[in-house]
């Protein structure tokens, strides 16, 4: 009788599979997923790590995975992060989620991980090694949309560009989008460019240094984490505040609201959500469970407009960033729509 019951269950499973019913994913309760992060020196990265910690702690409590620690390098050097990944290989992690210091410099270590049977999922700062998975937003679009916004506002004249961390995929792509957008619009000219490292204090210092050499600046294209610092640099120099495209940081939004309420200042804000780390975590978990996942995935850009400013600011903690954290189901549904 027992054998008959087992056979009947097996036959039912085959019939359901033939009808296109979903199959159960493999258990990942014993799997170990680590986060390799190259930099934690700004509010976006801090929010990203906080989101990872929050979502993975819940996953651990529910025994979805066995381990999900995060590791951040101290010097933001690709060589240091490569060594970190090699150490993770030795520690026997089943998957490594990477926010990379360089799109290419980590490829050797990533390939070593893949060759060892480890799943590698890169996000935000992605890697180009073919064996890895890549999750980002369309960063070129994020750059180009800033120029589109300036055009929509009817602006003309000189632009200042604030870049991110040199050598990182995100910086290169946003920069390409900004430069490409300007190339199509004769009414704009980039008269200065500095690296703000996605950090308000660095941006303020670098803009303050270059401002004395610049003519009148109509607008500032940014990468996030730098808008408030830019505003403070212009204020300290006694120069008119240009239209500064913001990057969803709470201090930027608070400054924007203050200026809007005082003198009807208008701008726009956009970024990748720090919770993209949680999307990457669930992607790694799904791959380990046996799910088929596309190698390339683009998340939606998180946008704040004049109309949504108040609600976005209210929902964002001081020192943090406008955020979206993903559940396992949301990631499964997202992947399903791509097939």
Per-domain residue ranges of the chain: 33-137+274-300+324-338, 139-271
Which CATH superfamily does the domain covering 139-271 fall into?
Response regulator (3.40.50.2300)
pLDDT tens digits, one per residue of 24-74: 456 999 999 999 999 999 999 999 999 999 999 999 999 999 999 999 999
Mean pLDDT value of segment 172-191: 97
Q: What is the DSSP string of 284-334?
A: HHHHHTT----SEEEPPPEEE-TTTHHHHHHTS-TT-B------HHHHHHH
Q: What is the pTM of this model?
A: 0.88
> What does pLDDT average to over the chain?
92
Q: What CATH architecture is 33-137+274-300+324-338?
A: 3-Layer(aba) Sandwich (3.40)
pLDDT tens digits, one per residue of 68-102: 999 999 988 999 999 999 999 999 999 999 999 99
The reply to whether 33-137+274-300+324-338 and 139-271 are identical in fold is: yes
What percentage of the chain exceeds 70 in pLDDT? 92
Q: Would the pLDDT of 256 be above 80?
A: yes
Distance in angstroms (rounded) separating the CA atoms of residues 175 and 143: 6
Q: Would the pLDDT of 21 be above 60?
A: no
Beta-sheet pairing, 119-123 with 133-136: parallel
């Amino acid at each position: 009788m027992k054998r008959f019951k087992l056979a009947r269950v097996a036959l039912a499973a085959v019939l359901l599979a033939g009808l296109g019913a979903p199959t159960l994913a493999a258990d990942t309760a014993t799997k170990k997923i680590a986060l390799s992060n190259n930099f934690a020196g700004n509010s976006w990265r801090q929010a990203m790590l906080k989101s990872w910690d929050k979502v993975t702690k819940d996953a651990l409590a529910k025994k979805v995975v066995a381990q999900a620690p995060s590791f951040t390098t101290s010097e933001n050097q690709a060589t240091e992060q490569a060594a970190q990944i090699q150490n993770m290989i030795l520690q026997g992690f089943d998957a490594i989620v990477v926010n990379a210091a360089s799109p290419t410099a980590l490829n050797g270590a990533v390939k070593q991980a893949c060759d060892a049977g480890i799943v590698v999922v890169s996000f935000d700062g992605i890697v180009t090694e073919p064996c890895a998975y890549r999750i980002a937003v369309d960063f070129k679009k994020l750059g180009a949309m800033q120029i589109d916004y300036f055009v929509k506002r009817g602006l003309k004249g000189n632009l200042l560009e604030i870049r991110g961390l040199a050598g990182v995929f995100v910086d290169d792509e946003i920069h390409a989008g900004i430069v490409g957008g300007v190339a199509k619009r004769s009414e704009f000219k980039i008269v200065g460019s500095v690296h703000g490292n996605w950090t308000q204090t660095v941006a303020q210092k670098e803009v303050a240094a270059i401002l004395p050499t610049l003519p009148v600046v109509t607008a500032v294209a940014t990468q996030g984490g730098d808008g408030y610092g830019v505003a403070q640099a212009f204020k300290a120099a006694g120069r008119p505040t240009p239209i500064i495209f913001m990057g969803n940081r709470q201090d930027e939004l608070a400054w924007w609201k203050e200026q809007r309420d005082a003198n009807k200042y208008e701008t726009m804000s956009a970024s990748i959500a720090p919770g993209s780390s949680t999307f990457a975590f669930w992607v790694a978990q799904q791959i380990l469970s046996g799910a088929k996942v596309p190698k390339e995935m683009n998340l939606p850009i998180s946008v704040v407009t004049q109309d949504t400013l108040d609600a976005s600011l209210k929902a964002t903690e001081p020192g943090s960033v406008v955020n979206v954290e993903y559940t396992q189901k949301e990631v499964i549904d997202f992947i399903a729509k791509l097939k």
